[in-house]
Amino acid sequence: MTELVPQKAVTEIVDTVKNLPVFKKDDIHFLQENSKHLGQVMEHTQMWRTNTQKLSIINDVHFPTDHAKYHQAMLEQKVQFDQAMYLAKDFEMKKLEIEELECDLEELTDSKRDKIKEKKIQIDIQFKQYELKQMQTAMKYRMDEIKGWQAIENELLNKMRKEGMDEEEIWTKDQGEIQNMFLASLNNLQGLPSCTDSAERSNLISLAVFAYKQVKQAGLLNTLKSKCNPAQLDSIGWLKKHIGE
């Protein structure tokens, strides 16, 4: 099947519904007159995330380390890849549905009842063809997501390898979890003065204390302190006082 052109898809669906009494004549005229623009809207309406939105997800506050950013990027990419595969399957199934309907058309007679069936089948085919175009557009944006995350992952991979991280460390989420949790909890502690919810306040403190103890037990405290910004160092000072060090 050749790729559907957005304007053609809109034109064909408008032609399908133009004689339906649910539309006013001036509404159909509007749709026909603006079919090119509506085709462009169909093609260019952004689905899912722009590149800027992707980068905002793996921000320094919630994912302070390259390792954490990388594993979040992997997760985002996996979701899009999975959905792209299901979309590809649905696309092929939709094409087969159209073929079945075309077979149904061939089996109809000249009876009045079959004439009604013919009209219903033709409408159904037109709408399924419109759905195919929507699915093609969705696939474009799914693939843009997959490719966008790949570019981000490649950049992070290069940085981590240059820093001397081996492949097992890079690909194992647990390897960098302690460092990321520690730094992220220090960032979150900065919101403590303005936190009025006692449960949330307790949660912020308990996670920070846990991460601090884990880092200290692993012998990574001094190493990570050297990477901390002034705000994070302030959080460490607050933590030490809180736990009585």
The pLDDT tens digits of the residues spanning 70-80 come to 999 999 999 99
pTM of the model: 0.77
Last residue in a domain, options 162, 188, 204: 162
The 3-state DSSP class for residue 7 equals helix
Please tell me the distance from the alpha carbon of residue 10 to that of residue 38, in angstroms, as a whole number.
Answer: 7
Q: Could you tell me if 132 and 74 lie in one domain?
A: yes
Confidence of residue 14 (pLDDT cuts 50, 70, 90): confident
Cα–chain center distance at 52: 13
Instruction: Supply the range of the domain harboring residue 144.
Output: 48-162
Per-residue tokens: 11: 């034109």
The answer for residues whose C-beta is within 8 angstroms of residue 54's C-beta and 6 or more apart is 73, 76, 145, 148, 149, 152
End-of-domain residue from the set 162, 183, 205 = 162
Both 62 and 147 in one domain: the answer is yes
Q: Which of 130, 119, 128, 136 shows the shortest CA–CA distance to 99?
A: 128
pLDDT digits (tens, 9 = 90+) for 103-135: 999 999 989 999 999 989 988 998 898 899 889
Domains held by the chain: number: 3
Q: Which of 115, 130, 162 is the last residue of a domain?
A: 162
Could you tell me the pLDDT band of residue 6, with boundaries at 50, 70 and 90? low
